[in-house]
Amino acid sequence: MASSSVASRPIASLLVKAGPAIISVGLLLLAWELYASYSGIKPTILPAPSRVFEQAMLNREALVDNAIPTIRATLLGFACSLSAAFALSMLVDFFQPLRRALFPVFIVSQTLPLVAIAPLVVLWFGFGLAPKIMLVALVTFFPMLVALVEGYEATEAEVGQMLRAMGAGRWRIFVLARLPSALPYFFAGLRISITYAVVGAIFAEYAGAAKGLGIYMLNAKNNFRPDLVLAAVGVSAALTLVLFGLTVLLQRLAMPWERAGKETAGKRPWR
Amino acid sequence: MSRLELRHVRKAFGGLDVLADISLSVGAGEFVSILGPSGAGKSTLFQLLTGAEHGEGEMLFDGARLDDHGRHFAFMPQRDALMPWRRILDNATLGLEVQGIRRKAARARVAPLFAEFGLAGFERHFPAQLSGGMRQRAALLRTVVQERDMLLLDEPFGALDALTRTAMQRWLEQMWRHHRWTALLITHDVREAVFLSDRIYVLSARPARIVREIEVPLPRPRSLGGDAARQASALEAEILDIILNPNPSKGHDHD
């Protein structure tokens, strides 16, 4: 096995793929930097990116210190919503009437404005971790549930018929066919809701917390330090990107057949 | 002696008659085809046999009423129905695993057959890495290793391109000569039915009834040239005529 070529090729292709993104973000930052330096705008209104970066470095300990509770709330809340969504998706799959009974409730839960609900949850459950977990779970639960339920439904009817003919019961069919059929849907849902999760956690902290990126942003804003607000935004964006990347990585590991199929496309024998 | 026997089987879906009156039999080691136009309810017949649906009439296997459906039939659906997440080897063992055979034992039983099915060396591949013909062979392998009494093949080559389909028909005929499976094939391909079958039941359009039962007297191996080929062509023409002109006595089809 030529392991070096296998390792270097993805990096090269990653650079090719990331190139346009790097250029566009770079140009944006450059334009912003030039505007901030030459328009005479005050740094307390719009700080230049260089200043944001400089202040982020100077305040890195505080930023890390405040990022940790946010990460914790995000991951714990997401884990809760994932387990709940999985359990409920199975229930819904086995007892279809439940779908009609429960989905309207969940759809309404998605229409609650976070601005209104976050302070209330903090009011009811305090400044601790619990309200953050609840809010993260609230915003991520429904997308995950829908992804799973629709994923089960995407199972090929013929596969089900074949398994029944083989003598498989409902549970066997679920484990052998419906669950794996849902994997692409599951990961699509995961990618969407992991980005909601970080926003949900920050919103919850914004409404009241001892520590966290949300409350850090609020305090920085109140102290007329937009540079530190933006530094915290940068940290949360980085955090979201890392989590997003992890889900992509996880999908590759969990679904090796996807890449295998793409790589051999066009190289197959004709019959 | 006939293994499978259907007597006056009928099935309606919500007032729509799909199967009007189906009586047929399949003998041990016999290859029988059900030939009919699309939407005639051919697949519904298999749903009755595999127990996915219930109809009226009598269905007998070895003279006993068909109850425990999974026991007698190995079913091969229209598309290959291979699971994309399972390697070919694990797709092939699926039926055995459902029967409760341990994965290791199931693999040991399936592995020696890969060469015969033209899949040697592809055990660890995913279905997406195989061509259409190979996928169908893998699906047939998955079907026959279940060692049921009878194969139910539902338009197994319908999704393939014409060349691959012809190649697969030849291959299947050759495989059948070696194994002599008792098989019931559903198809709308007249040539396929004539090439593969000992007997053909021709279905009418919906509601389906059997309009003709045709013996295929051609020698095996089914050849592609000479007298046999001419005989096959004549038979194909006759069957096509039955299907496309269901009521020749009325004579209104050509005016």
Q: Nearest chain B Cα to A156, which residue?
A: B81
Classify residue A233 as exposed, middle or buried by CB count within 10 Å of its CB (0-12, 13-18, 19+): middle
Residue contact A161–B128, C-beta within 8 A: no
Residue contact B98–A264, C-beta within 8 A: no
Asked whether B228 and B219 are in contact (CB, 8 A), the reply is yes
Tens of pLDDT, residues A27-56: 999 999 999 889 888 888 889 898 999 999
d(Cα B180, Cα B157) in Å, to the nearest integer?
19
Q: How far is A91 from chain B (nearest CA, A)?
A: 23
Q: Nearest chain B Cα to A265, which residue?
A: B129
Query: If pLDDT is split at 50, 70 and 90, which confidence band does A177 have?
Result: very high
- Boundaries of every domain in chain B: 2-23+50-214
Residue A270: the pLDDT is 57
d(Cα B162, Cα B164) in Å, to the nearest integer?
6
Residue A181: the pLDDT is 95
Closest to B81 (Cβ–Cβ): which among A162, A261, A264?
A: A162
Residue A270 lies in a domain: no
Which two structure tokens, joined as six digits, stand for A133?
């977990």
Q: How many domains does chain A have?
A: 1
DSSP designation for B60: E
Closest to B81 (Cβ–Cβ): which among A158, A268, A271?
A: A158
d(Cα A95, Cα A174) in Å, to the nearest integer?
13
Which CATH number belongs to the domain containing residue A173 in this structure?
Answer: 1.10.3720.10
Q: Nearest chain A Cα to B87, which residue?
A: A257
d(Cα A126, Cα B142) in Å, to the nearest integer?
59
Taking residue B104's Cβ as centre, other Cβ atoms within 10 Å add up to: 9
What Å distances lie between residue B147 and A179, B61, B73, B95, B96, CA to CA? 27, 16, 9, 10, 9
pLDDT above 70 (res A265): no
Closest to A257 (Cβ–Cβ): which among B128, B133, B168?
A: B128
Closest to A260 (Cβ–Cβ): which among B128, B152, B164?
A: B128
Residue A12 lies in a domain: no
State the count of interchain CB pairs (< 8 A) between A and B: 92
The helix/strand/coil state of B12 is strand
Residue A175 lies in a domain: yes
Query: If pLDDT is split at 50, 70 and 90, which confidence band does A5 have?
Result: very low
Chain A residue numbers with beta carbons less than 8 Å from the beta carbon of B45 are: none
Superfamily of domain B2-23+50-214: P-loop containing nucleotide triphosphate hydrolases (3.40.50.300)
CA dihedral A212, A213, A216, A218 (to 10 degrees): -110
Residue A246 lies in a domain: yes
| Mean pLDDT, rounded, for A136-157 | 92
Query: If pLDDT is split at 50, 70 and 90, which confidence band does A2 have?
Result: very low
Q: How far is B94 from chain A (nearest CA, A)?
A: 9
Query: If pLDDT is split at 50, 70 and 90, which confidence band does A269 have?
Result: low
Residue A266: the pLDDT is 57
Interface test mutation site (partner A, options B68, B76, B94, max chain A beta carbons within 10 A)? B94
State which residues of chain B have pLDDT below 50. 250-255
Q: Nearest chain A Cα to B69, which residue?
A: A165
Q: How far is A216 from chain B (nearest CA, A)?
A: 45
| ipTM of the complex in this document | 0.85
The rounded Cα B243 to chain-centroid distance in angstroms is 19
The rounded Cα B93 to chain-centroid distance in angstroms is 20
| Host domain of residue A236 | 59-252
